[in-house]
Amino acid sequence: MFDTIKIQKDFPILKRKIHGLRLVYLDNAATTQKPKQVIKALVDFYSKHNANIHRGIHTLAEEATKMHEEARGKIAGFIHAATPREIIFVRNCTEAINLVVYSWGRKFLQRHDEVILSESEHHSNLVPWQFLVAELGIKLKFIPVTNEGLLDLKVYGKLLTQRTKMVSVVHISNVLGTVNPVEKIGEMAHKAGALFMIDAAQSLPRMPIDVQKINCDFLAASGHKMLGPTGIGFLYGKEKLLEAMPPFLGGGDMIREVYLDHSLWNGLPYKFEAGTPNIADAVAFGAAIDYLENLGLSNIFLHEKKLTEYALKKLLAMPEVTVYGPKTAEKRTGVISFSIRDIHPHDVAQILDREGIAIRSGFHCAMPLHQKLKLPATCRASFYIYNTEEDVDQLIEGIKKAIKTFKI
């Protein structure tokens, strides 16, 4: 049994009152709250084990190094990577994608080569590739999003050519909530001779992912969207690809030998981890992985599906509300973007905040998708492990208050 009430007790921030009311936190697509187990891991590291890693031979340095590398191993097991060497610590999903763009892209892409993205990409999987358009003269192509909020795979098949070198798509849209068929997309990319990368920022926190089964070449994720601290994330890459890529940053720890006129690089994964890393947050990220595995990703996914179905039924019954993306929970998860007729999303968010309800309003770092939908912005409610049907009911009541306030 998925005991949401018991889970809520692990999150100190949920005891807060906002404007004198119970906090209803529905901004999980932006960042998740942190359980006491993760907070404790962070405090314990700084209180008992703080030291720099890999360089020292004293007790604290050895403890810190062991804890840091254990966290890497937990992540590798979490996504079924072949080896921890395939896990590169970075600040966030954005940096992970940039690492691939700057290291792999600059070395292996040439003028007129093609990279395929989708129209529903987060800016972090669009803007870095645009840099290479200007720098190298590559071409970007985009898989269209249908009126239902799905990727048009028929058009995608036609976009693939001999010049396609990389296909990089989001697993779950942070606007539409759509769960994209990454196995099929990757299979088609590989058949065309291209590599395949997944932006798993929204999917990894809420559904099981096996990189061996999916057979993706790269996968990017952020710790803060899966109960971990901000400022820590990772890039998964197949070992043979990472071995062929040059370092992303230069400095300490990413080198094996240094001379005045040249340097020799360290092995994986350290070749891509220059300088003192975010040690404490990596350790706390490991604690977040432990927490999620204890709950079970399949259980989390099912919990969100039920909440999504419950919320969609209520939202779609309101004539003033328009929901974007699939209208059933079958092809989506707990990220729901919507608008209310004649009320700007920012106004809706402010009214809901006065009711203790936290949602997101704006472009959600997906401006091209909003332009396609001809929308100035949207409201977004996103659920996670500690949310309940009562939270959805509070959201609906808050929307009704907004409608009444604006008399529409």
Strand 360-362 relative to strand 378-382: parallel, antiparallel, unpaired? antiparallel
Question: Which ranges of 355-388 does DSSP label H, i.e. alpha helix?
Answer: 367-372
The Cα–Cα gap between 144 and 345 comes to: 25
The Cα–Cα gap between 265 and 273 comes to: 11
- Write down the residue that tokens 């939908």 correspond to: 373
Bridge partners of 142?
117
Element (H, E) at 199: strand 195-199
Element (H, E) at 40: helix 36-44
Q: What is the gyration radius of the CA atoms in the chain, in angstroms?
A: 22
The Cα–Cα gap between 165 and 170 comes to: 17
φ and ψ at residue 238, rounded to 5 degrees: -60, 135
DSSP E strand stretches across 325-377: 335-340, 357-358, 360-362
Question: Is residue 16 a contact partner of residue 25, using CB atoms and an 8 Å limit?
Answer: no
Q: What is the DSSP letter of 272?
A: G
- The 3-state DSSP class for residue 5 equals helix
> Catalytic residue at 365?
yes
Residue 253: closest CA among 55, 49, 87: 55
Which residues lie closer than 8 Å to 27 by C-beta, 6 or more apart? Answer: 358, 359, 360, 380, 382
Question: Is residue 89 a contact partner of residue 278, using CB atoms and an 8 Å limit?
Answer: yes
Q: Which of 93, 216, 365, 379 is catalytic?
A: 365
Which residues lie closer than 8 Å to 29 by C-beta, 6 or more apart? Answer: 174, 202, 225, 335, 360, 364, 380, 382
**Within its chain, how far is the Cα of 156 from the centroid?**
23
Residues with a catalytic annotation lie at 365
